[in-house]
Amino acid sequence: MTNWLFLKTQGMLIRTKYHSINFPLRTKDTSIKYSPFFIMGSGRCGTTILRKILEQNEQIVVPPESGGLLENSIKLFISKNDLSWELLVQQILGLWRESPDFKYWNINDHLTGEELTRLPENQRNLQSIIDHIYLTYAQCHKPEAYIWGDKTPYATFGLNWIKRLYPQGRIIHMLRDGRDVVNSLLKHRRCDNVQEACARWNESVNILAKRYADMKIITVRYEQLVSDPKSAMNRLSEFLQSKLNYNEQAPPVFLGDDHLSHHNNLKQEVHNGAVGNWKEELGPKEIHQMIKLIRPNLKKHGYV
């Protein structure tokens, strides 16, 4: 079973029994300087390219993908809420340290939890723990940054959980032509067959479409991002309330996971050479099956 299906199934099966909450999920402090943002989508839709561009801006930090760690942290925090604060902190940090996705963050030696255990009672909540993890990454790799984002396509399928923790969180929906997404998911072996790849794109698009009414969401189209990244940064500047720039001559930024085979294109400048590759790379039978499965959403979003 692929990761996204595992996370979806896991979320459906979990049923948390009612019990007293010793420590809340989120802070009641309304004076915080910023709220985090989350880059979501189907996968193979340009989220990593957007991360690379955003990382050019010194005030923003976006670590490597977190897998299902955000959603699983919420579930663990609720289920273990009867523990002492010190033990609860170590349970959450242990979940992150043991994840294979977390090794690319390269901050394990700095994530001791000592600072968290000394927090005053009114700051003892899951948001404080998560904020500490992301800002520890910033301190290690980009000390000038103070706004953090998460770039994890799989988190799209756990959005209901993330909304519980960050009801004011901002979502950047990376939307790419579903035909190119399906092609890329198959080419990079992220899905086993056309039907599964189509289901993943359809579901991600549908999940995010339903959230435009109750969450702060902006859509960034892959095709526009790779053709005119400066315009995309202008739009995101207002959304993220931070002046953003793109410089095609900028030196490489630290990403931590850009050595992975499915991120090979990150070593090149941003370009639109992958737009429409499905036409040459998929066979006639695959194209016919794909179009039949995703045509409604292709039409809804202006791709056909």
Q: What is the pLDDT of residue 18?
A: 42
Q: Report d(CA 60, CA 142) in Å as an integer.
A: 9
Using 50, 70 and 90 to split pLDDT, how confident is the model at 12?
A: very low
CA angle 37, 161, 57 (to 5 degrees): 10
- Please compute the mean of the pLDDT values over residues 66-89 and round it to a whole number: 97
Q: Report d(CA 183, CA 204) in Å as an integer.
A: 16
- Please compute the mean of the pLDDT values over residues 60-73 and round it to a whole number: 96
- Please compute the mean of the pLDDT values over residues 255-278 and round it to a whole number: 77
Show the DSSP H helices in the chain as ranges.
3-13, 47-54, 69-79, 85-97, 114-117, 126-141, 159-165, 178-187, 194-210, 222-227, 229-240, 278-281, 284-300
Q: What is the pLDDT of residue 13?
A: 46
CA angle 164, 84, 11 (to 5 degrees): 30
Strand 170-175 relative to strand 37-40, pairing = parallel
Summary mean pLDDT of the chain: 90
Q: What is the pLDDT of residue 165?
A: 94
For 215-264, write each residue's pLDDT tens digit: 999 999 999 999 999 999 999 999 999 999 999 888 888 788 765 654 56
Using 50, 70 and 90 to split pLDDT, how confident is the model at 266?
A: low
Q: Report d(CA 290, CA 183) in Å as an integer.
A: 9
Least confident of 21-30, 95-104, 183-192, 244-253: 21-30
Q: Report d(CA 78, CA 14) in Å as an integer.
A: 11
Helices 69-79 and 126-141: crossing angle in degrees, nearest 10, is 140
Say what the pTM is: 0.90
Using 50, 70 and 90 to split pLDDT, how confident is the model at 17?
A: very low
Instruction: Give the residue carrying structure tokens 């036409």.
Output: 279
Q: What is the pLDDT of residue 28?
A: 79
Least confident of 76-90, 91-105, 249-263: 249-263
Q: Report d(CA 92, CA 82) in Å as an integer.
A: 14
Q: Report d(CA 172, CA 154) in Å as an integer.
A: 14
- Please compute the mean of the pLDDT values over residues 158-178 and round it to a whole number: 95
For 108-158, write each residue's pLDDT tens digit: 999 999 999 999 999 999 999 999 999 999 999 999 999 999 999 999 999
For 45-62, write each residue's pLDDT tens digit: 999 999 999 999 999 999
Tokens of 205: 């698009």
Whether the per-residue pLDDT at 66 is higher than 60: the answer is yes
| Spatial CB neighbours of 142, under 8 Å, sequence gap ≥ 6 | 55, 58, 61, 254
Share of the chain above pLDDT 70, in %: 88
